[in-house]
Structure 1
Amino acid sequence: MSQKNHIDGIKACVFDAYGTLFDVHSAVGKYRKQLGDVADQISLLWRTKQLEYTWLRSLMKHHVDFWQVTQDALDFTFDMHQITDQGLRKDLMNAYLSLKCYPEVPEALSLLKSRGFKLAILSNGTPEMLDSAVKNSGITDLIDVNLSVEEIGIFKPDSRVYQLAVDRLQVHPQEIIFQSSNAWDASGASAFGFNVAWINRFGQSKERLPGKPDFEIKKLMELPGLLN
C-alpha cells in the first residue's frame, strides 16, 4: 500500500475489464483436459501476445478490434504449440465471451453502487465482448456504462482512451478512481491524471513507467474502504 490510506472527492469508479473484473485464464480453464500439460503455458502465451499486439498495432497505426487481436494471439499460440484443432480454437474463442468474474467482484460492485458512485468499465474489449462478459457474470445492473476503445480506434494506454471516461461520465479526472490489475494500465491511467488503485492480485513487480498508482491492493473488496 502507498502512503495514502483513503481518498476524498471521488464520483466515479472506473474498471479495466480483463484481468481486473474477469479472469482471462478461465477460458483455457474450461478446456484444460483437452490441452493437457501445456494448458497454463497456452493461456499465458495467449494473453501475452494479445497485449503485445494491442501495443504494436497502436504504434503501427493499424487498428483492428480486440476480437481480431484475440484471435490472432490464439493462432500464434496454437502455431507455437503445433495445435491444429480448429474445433478447439472455436471453443476457446467462444469461451472468451463468457469469462468468469473474480469471486469478490459482484459484492464489491454492489457495495460501491449502494454508496452512490458511478460505475463504468473502460476496456480494450469490443462492445459485444464486454456486454457478453458483463451479462455472463450477472453484473449488468451494477455497471452504468461499458466504454470500449472502439469509440476512438486505439488501444490503452493511449491517453485518448482515459479521456473517453472523462467525457462520457462528465466528471473531472481527479473525481475518478481507476482500477486495473495490469500494472502498465495502472501506470497509464495515473500518468493521464486519474487516481488509481492497482489490484496486484498475483504479486507482480512494480513497473518502471511514468505514473504511479495511489493504492496497491490485492482484491477489489479493499476498494470501498479507500473511499470516503
Structure 2
Amino acid sequence: MPITTCIFDAYGTLFDVAAAARQAASEPNREAFAKVWTKVANDWRLKQLQYTWLRAVMDAHADFWDVTQNGLDYALEASGLSGDTELRERLLALYWELDAYEEVPEMLTALKSAGYNTAILSNGSPKMLDGAVQSAGVGDVLDDVLSVEDVGIFKPAPVVYQMVCDRFNCTPDQVLFVSSNGWDAAAASKFGFQTAWVNRAGEPQDKLPWTPREVLKTLHKIPNLAKEF
C-alpha cells in the first residue's frame, strides 16, 4: 500500500543531540570542557540510550528527562567533570534548545505539501519534545508529537510503534519511519513499517535480522522516498 504517514524519531534524527555540548564548549572560560566535549557528548547519548533499554526490560519506566540527567552525570564523571555544577546546569538548559539539522524544515514542509501525515515518535517526554519543536520552529509542519509517556515504556517495545497506527488509523506498511538509530529502524522494520536509517556518522549496520529498507546520510531524500515506497 502507498505511504500515507511519515514518522520521525526526534533526538539524533531531527534534532542534533551533540549541539548542547558543542555550544557549551564554544563559550568563554570552558577550556577544560572544550578538550573533551565530543567524548562527553558521545558518552551522554550512549548512556541515555542504555538506560532506556535497561528500564524497558526491567519494567522500571522513568521520565526521559530523568534518564537524560542520569546519562549526563555519568558522562561528566567519566571525563573528570562531575564537580562542575555550573557546566551541568548549562548543558541541561541547552538540551531544551537543540538545533534541528539544516534540512529538516524544508523536508517536513515538502512532505506536508504533498499531503502526508507527519509526526514525531520519541522516547522524549512531552515537555522536552515541545521545547525542541518550538526551538526548531517546526510545529506548523507536524501533525502530532507522540511520546512514549502515553504507554509507559521506551522503544523498542512494539506498543510504542503501535501508537502511530492508532493515531493515524493506518496499517504499518503505510508508514515510512525514519530514525538515526539503527536499532530503532530495525525494531520498526520488525513491526512492519517501511524504514529509513539516517546514518550520518557512517556507522556499521547493526547485526540484527531486521534491516532498514533505505540507508541515507541526510534527510534530504525523504520526500522522494515516500513517493517511491
TM range (shorter): over 0.9
1:143 corresponds in structure 2 to: 142
Of 28, 35, 43, the match for 1:45 = 43
Aligned residue pairs total 221
1:209 offset after TM fit, Å?
Answer: 1.3
1:204 offset after TM fit, Å?
Answer: 1.1
Question: Match of 1:98, SS?
Answer: coil
Question: Match of 2:141, SS?
Answer: coil
Contact 2:176–2:226 (Cα < 8 Å) also in 1: no
Q: Which amino acid aligns with 2:34?
A: G
Q: Which amino acid aligns with 2:88?
A: R
Of 61, 64, 74, the match for 1:76 = 74
Gaps of 5+ in 1: 1-7
Superposed CA offset, 1:184-213 (max 9, x none): 100010001100011111111111113211
Distance 1:184 1:53 in 2: 15
- Confirm whether residue 10 of structure 1 aligns to residue 3 of structure 2: yes
Distance 1:85 1:217 in 2: 38
| Moved segments of 4+, more than 4 Å | none
1:116 offset after TM fit, Å?
Answer: 0.2
Question: Match of 1:30, SS?
Answer: helix
Contact 1:149–1:161 (Cα < 8 Å) also in 2: yes
Q: Which amino acid aligns with 1:24?
A: V
Contact 1:13–1:176 (Cα < 8 Å) also in 2: yes
User: Identity of aligned pairs, percent?
Assistant: 47
Q: Which amino acid aligns with 1:38?
A: V
Tell me the TM-score normalized by structure 2.
0.94
Q: Which moved more, 1:175-184 or 1:78-87?
A: 78-87
1:225 offset after TM fit, Å?
Answer: 1.4
Q: Which moved more, 1:145-154 or 1:206-215?
A: 206-215
1:4 corresponds in structure 2 to: none
RMSD after superposition: 0.9
Tell me the TM-score normalized by structure 1.
0.95
Contact 2:5–2:116 (Cα < 8 Å) also in 1: yes
Contact 1:180–1:186 (Cα < 8 Å) also in 2: yes
Gaps of 5+ in 2: none
Distance 2:220 2:23 in 1: 26
Distance 2:53 2:68 in 1: 13
Question: Match of 1:90, SS?
Answer: helix
1:227 offset after TM fit, Å?
Answer: 2.4
